[in-house]
Structure 1
Amino acid sequence: MIISKERGFTLVEVLVSSFVFSIIVLGVSGLFVQVIGNQRRAVAAQEIQENGLFILELMSREIRVSQIVDSDQIPAGDSSNCTLTRLAIRHPVNGTVIYSIGNGLLLRTASGTTTELSSSAISFSRLNFCLLGSGPTDQQQTRVTILAASQNKTGKEILTVNLQTTVSSRDVQTEI
């Protein structure tokens, strides 16, 4: 009986263990890359949503206490099919305010001054208004639905977020 005192791994054992280790490393690094991509996508979506919701809230506050004056584009005063791309309101403090979209920016015009409401990081591809109850004889409370679509300008992947809100407009001057 010959007993070998040499200890160690054979070449086949070293190759098999190296192969298994490299497969595990590739799987873990692929998973890591995917998690980083998902995190970047989530941050971009959150930024778009935060900017969009901030702007919609700002518009809603002004519309809520204002009177709708933009009915020149609609014969009966209502636009339930959401084709209006600009909205003019008469605010009790700020006077006539016009909301519109231009070159991907959400614009607010008041007292002859146009202000960009949207951040430079996002662009708006859609801004529509639905008017209901704005006719002089319909006996309904005026409701404005704002439909907007915004997307990020930078990043590997362009994400689009659709936003919608409905505001009940009330003329505060008639309540005073």
Structure 2
Amino acid sequence: MKNFKFKILNLKTKEAGFTVVEVLVTSLIFSIMAMAVSAIFIQIVSLERRGFAVQKIQDNALLVLEEMSRDMRVSRISDQESPSCAATAITLIHPLKGTVVYQVSGGIIQRSVNGGNYVDVSSSDVNFTRMNFCISGSLADDNRSPRVSIVSSVQNRTGKEVVQIDLQTTVVSRNVLDEFSFP
């Protein structure tokens, strides 16, 4: 047993293992990579939230604009000229519903049918910061079909980041009662 000796590495003569500098450099590189991956992940989550907010705004706003457009297409729009887009409410004479009024109140689109109470048409999740109607051709003597351009700005009410979308659509009124009336 006397001949058996443990060999202890002599760092002066043999280079084995890692030095303190190598460990520090490796740790620094790993930390930088971990921070970069974390920052990318946080950015992806933020973009995903923004995407969901934009989708919610578009879904709600387009549903409201489509409902208003359907009513306008078949209704009579008379004596409401506003080529400068100053009108914030519009009155329609619908062939089945009667008098329909659309307006914005507190960022929510509301509708009144035949002078009844105003009912919310848009969701409370979105805020219509602007809703203007550009109305042309509604005068009786201009011999043009009434045309309404709806210009709106919509933003979300919930979420960390406020996202705003500007939408515009143009509708031409056909006045179904005039088309199907017989002389």
Task: Find out whether 1:136 has 2:145 as its counterpart.
Answer: no
Q: CA RMSD in A?
A: 1.3
How many angstroms does 1:44 deviate by?
0.3
- Cross-structure match for 2:3: none
Give distance in 1, aligned partners of 2:13 and 2:57.
Answer: 72
Give distance in 2, aligned partners of 1:66 and 1:165.
Answer: 17
Aligned residue pairs, count: 168
How many angstroms does 1:113 deviate by?
2.9
- Cross-structure match for 2:68: 59
- Cross-structure match for 1:74: none
Q: 1:171 aligns with which of 150, 167, 175?
A: 175
Any runs of at least 4 consecutive aligned residues in structure 1 with deviations exceeding 2 A, and if so which? none
- Cross-structure match for 1:43: 52
Task: Find out whether 1:89 has 2:92 as its counterpart.
Answer: yes
How many angstroms does 1:3 deviate by?
5.1
What pairs with 1:76-115 in structure 2 (closer than 5 Å)? Answer: 77-111=80-114, 112-115=116-119
- Cross-structure match for 1:27: 36
| SS of equivalent residue, structure 1 residue 136 | coil
Gaps of 5+ in 2: 1-11
How many angstroms does 1:46 deviate by?
1.1
How many angstroms does 1:80 deviate by?
0.8
TM, length-normalised to structure 1: 0.91
TM, length-normalised to structure 2: 0.88
Give distance in 1, aligned partners of 2:110 and 2:152.
Answer: 13
**Residue type of the partner of 1:63?**
M
Task: Find out whether 1:148 has 2:156 as its counterpart.
Answer: no
Task: Find out whether 1:68 has 2:71 as its counterpart.
Answer: no
- Cross-structure match for 2:163: 159
| SS of equivalent residue, structure 1 residue 157 | coil
% identity of equivalent residues = 45
How many angstroms does 1:115 deviate by?
1.0
Residue by residue over 1:80-100, the C-alpha shift from the partner in whole angstroms, topping out at 9 and shown as x without a partner, is 100001000000000000000
Give distance in 2, aligned partners of 1:143 and 1:28.
Answer: 53
Q: 1:8 aligns with which of 1, 17, 21?
A: 17
How many angstroms does 1:7 deviate by?
3.0
**Residue type of the partner of 1:88?**
T
